[in-house]
Structure 1
């Protein structure tokens, strides 16, 4: 009744302000009649929003999800026109364009009123949040008393970044958990961990969720036997990587026991999946719920309007920030035009809101394990820098999302332990192209004696947000040379970039080439690369030593001597030699692996992509993510022990889940149980 009254007052106020919105006849009506007309119109609009809107959204799931977001205003305005048309008083009149505005304001007011009232009543608050995620409590068995675990991945947030954010007061929720400076006892511990050489979401999240990072040398790489480029954020590649990991480990994943996967590249073996890239390539059916999260969220018209308004505001914010950066001639800087403002808004608003709402529903449904990825920071940091004012604003909003999840957990039917982690960090620095005027691909062509175009071409910039947008639009991720058929002549090398890691492959040679073979074919290539000031080191296979690291001034260090003679790896710190040796053993390691220059004092690298905050190789903060865990859980690493690699993080999380809910179900047994059911 209070929400209805608030909507009625809102409609009366808007009718008095907007000239194209009338609630009375041309001859005039009494105040009582106008009030009745407004009440009837508001009531009809509320009923249509509650009953018709979810049906419309379910039908519109047949269209791309991003288009659904753009249709929000039109659909909401149409419902208001219908509500006024069926109004028994017959006195209301509104122009279609004004109806859109009136409907948006009324939905926002109704949402705010209902939310404010529901917070005062635990049961009402619980029911309201439950509706947001479209869960049916009766479909699940009673919740066990053992605590559940929700893991939130803050994509790309390094250990140093979150530490500084807490110190500056940008993340008060995390600061309260760590009891930073407020005299209270902490509830969580912050632990850094070290990634593999491939410091990117594809490798890290595959290792965390499925326990294997084997044969993931980079974000994108060329597989000679299949003659195609694998890209971690392409749905078909993600599905294949997940299949390989399951086959290697013999286990379905971290979330096989009553788990939910939200906004991730991989499923983790969860039964409940939404916005998961590895299942986006399947034919749509009951088992494919990769876009179920969109319906769960947009079925509430107030959510749809609020997210659409925030989306538009974020687009405007990005345009203003990029314009200010250009006016100040800020350096380093990359292009932020074209569709990027919309990609950023999708990552920082739409994807965040939908994933957080899905997690809220999982908590209130009492699920055992939930893993969700929020990609907002990673997307903005690529273009604005890891420590820019733009990213600080994103960190503040992510902290509010954590606070909301914590609040919902208090109303869940079982206790929950909130774990927050990142999959990698980001290292700052200008692009290789900006500093030297040519791309890595052009430098390779010069070393091979091939013609070099005068104009440097831009390199693909692959991020999780762009993959999510493409999945929402049902557009595949395309890579140049992804299906390469070598001709009779020697084909040109394929050069791929993954942040500050470059991969060079010769597609006409079926095996991984050795240094001796490369020197015989292109004598100047390896010296040209190794002696370039923008390159830190190379990894190549060797007939004599098995594998060698090459550096400037003729440095050539066999892999088995790196511990006592690190050579060009010295500046990259502890763990670099182990990471390089491990990657060398992968079946699909490129003919030449190239890691960019690294400046330890400033922590800067040179990205081979168009990014001023990058990750993917060795050097700086990109290889130092964090794990934030409750103190009630055992320490993730013993005294003096380093948490090294995503597979190690997987074992830690699995141990925590097993201690709370018993051993996780092996893949074969899970399949048998599913078939029997």
Structure 2
């Protein structure tokens, strides 16, 4: 019988032979790819001017492919790390030129100088060779769990564990994946249709996971929801953007400086660093949650000493040139998909019709491809590193639904691609040093409907100015598509953020004139020359027609204003009034169409220090849930009305829920904090989501 030491040596020998075999196969495929491209491309040759024998050509191709492979393995990681000083969004584009440069150097090393290629062609050849070698390596590794796990670790930029490292924890870690903007009903339809639009997640539903809705605050948008979930408080976040009188500045939730300030305020209010403070990681979010490990996070992008941190996720991803190739092809395909889909929408005459030209196709591709791929790779790396909690935001659906509508075919296709990302993360959990529970959630939903301007031919700003007796001046400021993706792209490019007063300047003239801002179907009106919060009585003395004009408009559901005599007061159509502090209603209740909990949400916001002088919520169709966005959006969120206030939580079945409904994003912070704190029950291992080959894998833990 072989001794234990001999068995280990034999096993090591077999592993070494398999590794050598894989290297030889990849080398052969790369050589064949190089030879084939030399025969196809007119300005690329690997033979002498007088011709060579097939054997000589094969040897030349092998030498060129081998040199390219060695240079890629040794030089590439160093180049990418040096490029952390380059704006992150440009890194993916530079990958191709650097990869082509490595191929040019490799061909210079071919004996007798037979390798000749034009520089532009070298870029194409290098991309094809990287893709071919990566596909071959993955195909060979897919049946070998140990090799596949090491490959995942390398692609994610994580080192392998070594003898002497502390043992990995046995308690399950938790991965929170935020599918931005996906409402409960949208997800339910995607999981229960035939065939399901999200087959991986559909397999979990009813087995390992449970689906439940929760209710947002009045400000149903990522800034308010995610700040509460990650930092524990969204106090004084009345909307996505708002004006602060004492500083004369506009706060915007996804602007790096604003996000940093909001996080600072939340930490000061709660006294806690955040949900992820204990060995956590924050990926692609607006806020850090107190995580030491953060990448692509807005609130840390402006911190001193974090120059490279926001782009570290890009390095981890682009350190493999094959990733850059795959993402670039997907990026190009997404741009083409957007152009085709927007053209088809114009031909069909879809309403509302949202402008989708200019830079929007590129911004959509950045949000749905680049941000997604980098965030998924970062999450996989966090799991392989054994982190206790990971929170990542996948923004693809939200970006597309804003322009195509939350129930559109375009948005449904994005859900299918997001399912693939979830599948990849679930599969990678098999190779993590600890079991993982995967929680899916959304920060808000989206409500469809015609835009306010499209339905009534007037913008909210124009209506407010008319009610104040002011004449519209200057050119109309056109809304820009892809606003959230635009801000993320500017951060990735290291472009300076727009001046904090710039948005105010677009919305107001002299300081005596009202400032009108929009957050989906929620409008905010501020009178900057009135100290403190303007009262109902002051506004009526100043602009007697304004409130009647607003509440009498068919596109406006209600207006919140503070009365010096009656306290916070909601005004609505038909002379309806609702005193939210006392509950007293006069006439038709303006909040009735917005469902149970609307009054409590409005009353809470009324207590914020920076609530606007007037908070205007659009009307809502009680049957369809359609609202009128004050921005140029086919699907909107930010206020009350329709599915936007009803996001979802899909959680492992063994994790407990409170008996009462989940209301407000701060309730999710408390719930998730309890899950992370314990007790740490062993996760249910049967049934399990399928492994890559369709089998049930005991080493995978998804709750």
TM class, shorter-length: over 0.9
TM-fit CA distance, 1:457: 3.4
Match 2:614 to one of 568, 574, 592: 592
Q: 2:327 maps to which residue? A: 307
TM-fit CA distance, 1:116: 1.3
TM-fit CA distance, 1:484: 7.2
TM-fit CA distance, 1:478: 4.8
Measure the CA separation in 2 of the matches of 1:44 and 1:489.
Answer: 66
Measure the CA separation in 2 of the matches of 1:285 and 1:93.
Answer: 43
Measure the CA separation in 1 of the matches of 2:324 and 2:680.
Answer: 36
Q: 2:223 maps to which residue? A: 202
Measure the CA separation in 1 of the matches of 2:415 and 2:584.
Answer: 38
Measure the CA separation in 2 of the matches of 1:485 and 1:165.
Answer: 39
Measure the CA separation in 2 of the matches of 1:456 and 1:101.
Answer: 44
Measure the CA separation in 1 of the matches of 2:480 and 2:501.
Answer: 9
TM-fit CA distance, 1:479: 5.8
In structure 2, the CA distance between the partners of 1:325 and 1:487, relative to structure 1 (3 Å rule), is: closer
Q: 1:501 maps to which residue? A: 522
TM-fit CA distance, 1:191: 0.8
Q: 1:103 maps to which residue? A: 126
Q: 1:132 maps to which residue? A: 155
Unaligned stretches of 5+ residues in structure 2: 1-23, 682-703
TM-fit CA distance, 1:555: 2.0
In structure 2, the CA distance between the partners of 1:435 and 1:456, relative to structure 1 (3 Å rule), is: farther
TM-fit CA distance, 1:333: 1.3
Q: 2:173 maps to which residue? A: 148
Measure the CA separation in 1 of the matches of 2:680 and 2:516.
Answer: 47
Unaligned stretches of 5+ residues in structure 1: 180-185, 663-677
Q: 1:522 maps to which residue? A: 543
SS in structure 2 at match of 1:567: coil
Contact 1:470 1:477 in 2 (8 A): no
Q: 2:298 maps to which residue? A: 277
Measure the CA separation in 2 of the matches of 1:457 and 1:646.
Answer: 33
TM-fit CA distance, 1:427: 0.3
Contact 1:438 1:456 in 2 (8 A): no
Contact 1:212 1:647 in 2 (8 A): yes
Bigger mean CA offset, 22-31 vs 460-469: 460-469
SS in structure 2 at match of 1:127: helix
Match 2:645 to one of 615, 623, 644: 623
Contact 1:197 1:583 in 2 (8 A): yes
Measure the CA separation in 1 of the matches of 2:571 and 2:79.
Answer: 60
Measure the CA separation in 2 of the matches of 1:479 and 1:328.
Answer: 40
Measure the CA separation in 2 of the matches of 1:523 and 1:654.
Answer: 49
TM-fit CA distance, 1:483: 6.7
SS in structure 2 at match of 1:331: coil
Bigger mean CA offset, 472-481 vs 30-39: 472-481
In structure 2, the CA distance between the partners of 1:203 and 1:106, relative to structure 1 (3 Å rule), is: same
TM-fit CA distance, 1:112: 0.7
Match 1:215 to one of 236, 244, 247: 236
Q: 1:120 maps to which residue? A: 143
Q: Note the alpha carbon deviations across 1:225-276, whole angstroms, 9 max, x for none.
A: 1110000000000000001111111101000111000000000010100000
Measure the CA separation in 2 of the matches of 1:174 and 1:447.
Answer: 50
Match 1:645 to one of 658, 661, 664: 664
1:532 matches 2:553: yes
Measure the CA separation in 2 of the matches of 1:581 and 1:356.
Answer: 39
Measure the CA separation in 2 of the matches of 1:16 and 1:66.
Answer: 34
1:85 matches 2:108: yes
Q: 2:383 maps to which residue? A: 363
1:548 matches 2:573: no
The 5-angstrom pairing of residues 173-192 of structure 1 reads 173-179=200-206, 186-192=207-213
Contact 2:561 2:614 in 1 (8 A): yes
Measure the CA separation in 1 of the matches of 2:595 and 2:421.
Answer: 35
In structure 2, the CA distance between the partners of 1:479 and 1:594, relative to structure 1 (3 Å rule), is: farther
Bigger mean CA offset, 476-485 vs 374-383: 476-485
Contact 2:561 2:569 in 1 (8 A): yes
1:513 matches 2:538: no
Give the paired residue count.
652
Measure the CA separation in 2 of the matches of 1:2 and 1:551.
Answer: 72
Q: 1:673 maps to which residue? A: none
TM-fit CA distance, 1:482: 5.1
TM-fit CA distance, 1:73: 2.0
Contact 1:148 1:660 in 2 (8 A): no
Contact 1:429 1:604 in 2 (8 A): yes
SS in structure 2 at match of 1:134: coil
Measure the CA separation in 2 of the matches of 1:83 and 1:251.
Answer: 54
SS in structure 1 at match of 2:309: coil
Q: Note the alpha carbon deviations across 1:178-201, whole angstroms, 9 max, x for none.
A: 14xxxxxx1100010000000000
Measure the CA separation in 1 of the matches of 2:43 and 2:503.
Answer: 55
In structure 2, the CA distance between the partners of 1:262 and 1:486, relative to structure 1 (3 Å rule), is: closer
In structure 2, the CA distance between the partners of 1:487 and 1:334, relative to structure 1 (3 Å rule), is: closer
Measure the CA separation in 2 of the matches of 1:324 and 1:211.
Answer: 43
Q: 2:261 maps to which residue? A: 240
Q: 2:117 maps to which residue? A: 94
Q: Note the alpha carbon deviations across 1:516-560, whole angstroms, 9 max, x for none.
A: 001111111111111111100000001111110011222222113
Measure the CA separation in 1 of the matches of 2:116 and 2:583.
Answer: 79
Q: 2:623 maps to which residue? A: 601
Contact 2:355 2:481 in 1 (8 A): no
The 5-angstrom pairing of residues 106-505 of structure 1 reads 106-137=129-160, 141-168=166-193, 169-179=196-206, 186-285=207-306, 289-453=309-473, 456-459=476-479, 463-475=483-495, 476-478=497-499, 481=502, 491-505=512-526
Q: 1:571 maps to which residue? A: 593
SS in structure 1 at match of 2:285: coil
1:580 matches 2:605: no
In structure 2, the CA distance between the partners of 1:366 and 1:419, relative to structure 1 (3 Å rule), is: same
Q: Note the alpha carbon deviations across 1:343-375, whole angstroms, 9 max, x for none.
A: 000011000000000000011111100000000
Measure the CA separation in 1 of the matches of 2:483 and 2:554.
Answer: 27
Q: 1:672 maps to which residue? A: none
Q: Note the alpha carbon deviations across 1:614-633, whole angstroms, 9 max, x for none.
A: 00000001000000001121
What TM-score, normalized by structure 2, do the two folds share?
Answer: 0.90
In structure 2, the CA distance between the partners of 1:141 and 1:300, relative to structure 1 (3 Å rule), is: same
TM-fit CA distance, 1:55: 1.7
Measure the CA separation in 2 of the matches of 1:447 and 1:19.
Answer: 69
**What is the root-mean-square deviation of aligned Cα atoms in Å?**
2.0
1:658 matches 2:680: no
